[in-house]
Structure 1
């Protein structure tokens, strides 16, 4: 059974990459937080964060260039904030863009913000109190809308198990999946919604509970599509990363240390742009020329 648990951990990013449009369309309405639109999904894995328990939950690139970092916690402690801050520093080191961190707190938090002040380093987050959302009432509402074939916010379904309830988490997850199975939508979309519900709740479940859900709902089959998509995307991303590293070495060899603006532009550039620049760098005489080429 352990091999099955590993599929969820290894393919976490694949599930969200394939389903990020669900968040792009509905995240603002669900969170009730003013945000720019979502532009793309960002990976959650870093070399320095190796275990499933230390995985960042969700990251999105927003239309204004900033990054949305979403975390889910039962309660919020200073230790949690320090951990999230360390993730955000890794994100900032890689992308050099503003980070917006939002915490979905299951048991609630006394303020709309959670922060700490370490002197030269300050950290601020927004807290969305999931205990303000009545899971029982939301379940009833969603059932009625699905029966009437009315439009729903799919994120209300995906995050339903995290809302206020007197039931155990495993029962909430099972009830939600049962409801999701009744959706009259395209099969891959339905599978993605079920998979998202599962992977977003797995850290709040015991191994035995995960095993029950995995067995009862055939999660291996449901995640297969996202896994295959992830393998294809992974090959493309691997080639892009290799091309970026080669280009960075070329720039360093010709101009010395690479500045932050060039690093950011290379990280955002498509593969064909990187490959073109690798050829053009032979005749490029200044960093300004590099920046101009990457921007246009």
Structure 2
């Protein structure tokens, strides 16, 4: 696999932490994928001998404790369904939970088999065709929104991620680069990094190899990874605090956990966790969280 494997799986944990944040709580029903909201992206290094040394594209844990197996294809082949079936069997062996498989086909595909019978075994997938989406119009609409500083909806973000697969007069590799260029114009850096990481991870599944290095250059990948790694550490610190609050107060900790999610400074989060351990009452802890939020606000104002 060479260079493609290096791009897709180097810094795997960092990119996929960022993808998890991007997809968390999102529903894909806009594309006809009717599942519970996504909880997190699941690593796909399953203990099987894969066809052509390839892994499945993506697997998501859903809020209803089932799994979504998502594949991206630019051509249709029944042999690929055989491969997806192998993955699903292996995933079921590991997780023992229901798995729904959805194949997203690029704009060059207008039909595909969704059900394949293997004697007593019937394998069902769902096909989503990106030919039904006008990528040229959607990128213009997104460009206008981003340039005007408008907030992107969940559907906007998903359209941005899937743009390179949509119907277009532009080659999909060029469109992937245009999409990353557009994502770079998003003013919110956290949102920008999450979207760029996700676009890179997904586009690498189908982008022409000669464009891989160019895509990485456009994305300034080293910077993206640094920011994604930092965001990952912040998320881990937030989760540590929320877990502690949960263990102490259960449902009564809900409002405090919401406030902790607003803290985006690692130093403040680490200091807060230490102080919370020493606090005895919920009132004390609420005060400590408020103090941390006020300090973050002061630091933000002084930096402007």
In the TM superposition, what is the alpha-carbon distance from 1:191 to its structure 2 partner? 1.8
Contact 1:44–1:55, Cα closer than 8 Å, also in 2:
yes
After TM superposition, list the pairs within 5 Å mapping 1:64-213 onto structure 2: 64-106=64-106, 107-110=108-111, 114-152=114-152, 153-185=156-188, 187-213=189-215
Aligned length: 231
What does the per-residue CA deviation read over 1:17-40, in whole Å, with 9 as the maximum and x for residues that have no partner?
Answer: 333232234332442322112233
User: Residue 214 of structure 1: SS of its match in structure 2?
Assistant: helix
Say if 2:259 is the partner of 1:221.
Answer: no
In the TM superposition, what is the alpha-carbon distance from 1:232 to its structure 2 partner? 11
In the TM superposition, what is the alpha-carbon distance from 1:69 to its structure 2 partner? 0.6
Contact 1:49–1:55, Cα closer than 8 Å, also in 2:
no
Which whole-Å CA distance do the structure 2 matches of 1:171 and 1:178 have between them? 11
After TM superposition, list the pairs within 5 Å mapping 1:49-64 onto structure 2: 54-64=54-64
Tell me what 2:299 maps to: none
Which whole-Å CA distance do the structure 1 matches of 2:228 and 2:146 have between them? 25
* TM-score (structure 1 length as normaliser): 0.69
Unaligned stretches of 5+ residues in structure 2: 236-304
Say if 2:39 is the partner of 1:32.
Answer: no
In the TM superposition, what is the alpha-carbon distance from 1:228 to its structure 2 partner? 7.2
Which whole-Å CA distance do the structure 1 matches of 2:33 and 2:3 have between them? 38
After TM superposition, list the pairs within 5 Å mapping 1:270-281 onto structure 2: none
Tell me what 1:44 maps to: 44
Which whole-Å CA distance do the structure 2 matches of 1:87 and 1:231 have between them? 31
What does the per-residue CA deviation read over 1:34-59, in whole Å, with 9 as the maximum and x for residues that have no partner?
Answer: 21122332111124357996121111
User: Residue 93 of structure 2: SS of its match in structure 1?
Assistant: helix
After TM superposition, list the pairs within 5 Å mapping 1:2-41 onto structure 2: 6-41=6-41
Which whole-Å CA distance do the structure 1 matches of 2:16 and 2:139 have between them? 23
After TM superposition, list the pairs within 5 Å mapping 1:232-271 onto structure 2: none
The structure-2 alpha-carbon separation of the partners of 1:5 and 1:213, relative to structure 1 and needing over 3 Å to count, comes to farther
Contact 1:72–1:104, Cα closer than 8 Å, also in 2:
yes
In the TM superposition, what is the alpha-carbon distance from 1:7 to its structure 2 partner? 4.8
In the TM superposition, what is the alpha-carbon distance from 1:227 to its structure 2 partner? 5.5
User: Residue 85 of structure 2: SS of its match in structure 1?
Assistant: helix
User: Residue 167 of structure 1: SS of its match in structure 2?
Assistant: coil
Which whole-Å CA distance do the structure 2 matches of 1:175 and 1:3 have between them? 22
In the TM superposition, what is the alpha-carbon distance from 1:16 to its structure 2 partner? 2.4
Unaligned stretches of 5+ residues in structure 1: 234-296
Which whole-Å CA distance do the structure 1 matches of 2:131 and 2:53 have between them? 23
Contact 1:170–1:205, Cα closer than 8 Å, also in 2:
yes
User: Residue 125 of structure 2: SS of its match in structure 1?
Assistant: strand
Which whole-Å CA distance do the structure 2 matches of 1:225 and 1:4 have between them? 22
What does the per-residue CA deviation read over 1:177-218, in whole Å, with 9 as the maximum and x for residues that have no partner?
Answer: 111111111x24312211211221113223321122223432
* TM-score (structure 2 length as normaliser): 0.67
